Amino acid sequence: MHLTLRQLKVFESVARHLNYTRAAEELFLTQPAVSMQVKLLEESLGVALFEQLGKRVHLTEAGREVLGYARAVTQQLDELENVLNRLKGLGGGKLRISVATTANYFIPTLLGTFSRRYPGVTVSLDVTNRESLLQQLSDNTVDLVIMGQPPAELDAEADAFMENPLVIVAPPEHPLANRKKIPLKRLQDEVFLVREPGSGTRIAMERFFAEREMHVKTGMEVGSNEAIKQSVQAGLGLGLLSRATIEQELTLKRLVVLDVAEFPIMRHWYIVHRSGKRLSTVAQAFKTFMLKEARALIDGKTPSPSSSKRRRH
Ligand code: PGA
């Protein structure tokens, strides 16, 4: 067998995405280069790893076997890199973090501060939905994840580092815009725009109304916070969004927050990793940075030494 680590890495990426184009984007390669690496690996192993049925790519049985070994090899190498980084200190190293789409409204600022403090560190940031974050934790392909609710599905360590209030937004000309203390039940007369299934915000919204046995009318299903804001401004309905997503619109007076009883819904942001994961020096430094400083940096306040801690099993 004459396979290379590069071929295994490319194969792992294609197998994870089941898509050559996305693997090529992730690895900064062209699609033909990705196909070539997979072909060379197949030739050297003497088996087909993928099959294409219609437009979809599937792993063959041999492909699934090889994937297990490819992951074990890459994880061992990552661990070796982590151990060496630890020996070398924080001069270099790579931080792989993935964040929920809503968290991307504040994460770049924090990464900026962290990167200036540790200029040798390379950061790989993925912004994706909750379902995919859970998959990455489960596959152990990420160091740290930022999400709005700790995963109940797997053994993970989750620390809260900042509040995440969810508010109801409306266009400034909405009849409820200047009302004080709007009763919760009044919302049943309104139509809400909702995020896609799998969004943490949507799950929180559904749980909140279900717990109160309320049925709110849902209008369009919209796949991003940005699109929800645009649709609310266009008068298509109300939105229930994380406060972090609407700073600009509030400043520009394009949206208002409604004063509704029991709102905001107070959630938290969590920094999460698999229990027992051996964090690299860099990942450990980032976690400490988030727990100690994130909130203060975002709020422009002094750091508070305490942060609520929570573990999930
Ligand atoms: P989102 O936010 O999935 O709705 O973007 C993350 C969360 O609140 O869990």
Q: Using CA atoms, how far apart are residues 151 and 147, in angstroms rounded to an integer? A: 9
Q: What is the pLDDT of residues 77-111, one digit of tens each?
A: 877 877 776 666 666 788 999 999 999 999 999 99
Domain with CATH 3.40.190.10 in the chain: 87-162+268-312, 163-267
- The average pLDDT across 57-71 equals 95
Q: Which two tokens stand for residue 192?
A: 């809400």
**CATH of segment(s) 87-162+268-312:** 3.40.190.10
Q: Using CA atoms, how far apart are residues 294 and 289, in angstroms rounded to an integer? A: 7
Locate the ligand 1 atom nearest the alpha carbon of residue 130 and give its number.
Answer: 3
**Residue 245 near ligand 1, beta carbon < 6 Å:** no
Residue 16 has a pLDDT of: 93
Locate the ligand 1 atom nearest the alpha carbon of residue 202 and give its number.
Answer: 4
Three-state secondary structure along 147-197?
A: ECCCCCCCCEEEEEEEEEEEEEEECCCCCCCCCCCECHHHHHHCEEEEECC
**Residue 101 near ligand 1, beta carbon < 6 Å:** yes
Cα(221) to ligand 1 centroid in Å equals 15
Residue 36 has a pLDDT of: 96
**CATH of segment(s) 163-267:** 3.40.190.10
**Which residues are 288's β-sheet partners?**
none
Which of 126, 135, 147 for a ligand 1 pocket mutation test, highest count of atoms within 8 Å of Cβ?
A: 147
**Residue 239 near ligand 1, beta carbon < 6 Å:** no
221 touches 194 (CB < 8 A): yes
Cα(148) to ligand 1 centroid in Å equals 6
Locate the ligand 1 atom nearest the alpha carbon of residue 242 and give its number.
Answer: 8
Domain with CATH 1.10.10.10 in the chain: 5-70
253 touches 172 (CB < 8 A): yes
Residue 83 has a pLDDT of: 73
Residue 210 has a pLDDT of: 96
Q: Which two tokens stand for residue 17?
A: 């995405």
**Residue 199 near ligand 1, beta carbon < 6 Å:** yes
Q: Which residue, among 294, 280, 304, 313, has the nearest Cα to 85 in the 3D structure?
A: 280
Residue 86 has a pLDDT of: 65
> At 221, is the pLDDT very low, low, confident or very high (cuts 50, 70, 90)?
very high
Query: Looking at the chain, how many residues does it have?
Result: 313
- The average pLDDT across 107-124 equals 90
Residue 130 has a pLDDT of: 85
Full-model pTM = 0.71
**Does domain 5-70 match CATH 1.10.10.10?**
yes
**Residue 13 near ligand 1, beta carbon < 6 Å:** no
Backbone φ and ψ of 233, nearest 5° = -60, -30
Among residues of the chain, what percentage have pLDDT more than 70? Answer: 93
> At 131, is the pLDDT very low, low, confident or very high (cuts 50, 70, 90)?
confident
Does residue 306 have a pLDDT over 60?
A: no
Q: What is the pLDDT of residues 147-189, one digit of tens each?
A: 999 998 889 999 999 999 999 999 999 999 999 999 999 999 9
Q: Which two tokens stand for residue 131?
A: 């379902």
- The average pLDDT across 22-26 equals 92
Backbone φ and ψ of 210, nearest 5° = -65, -40
Q: Which two tokens stand for residue 53?
A: 């049925």
Does residue 264 have a cis peptide bond before it, meaning omega lies within 30 degrees of 0?
A: yes
**Which residues are 159's β-sheet partners?**
271, 309
Residue 87 has a pLDDT of: 67
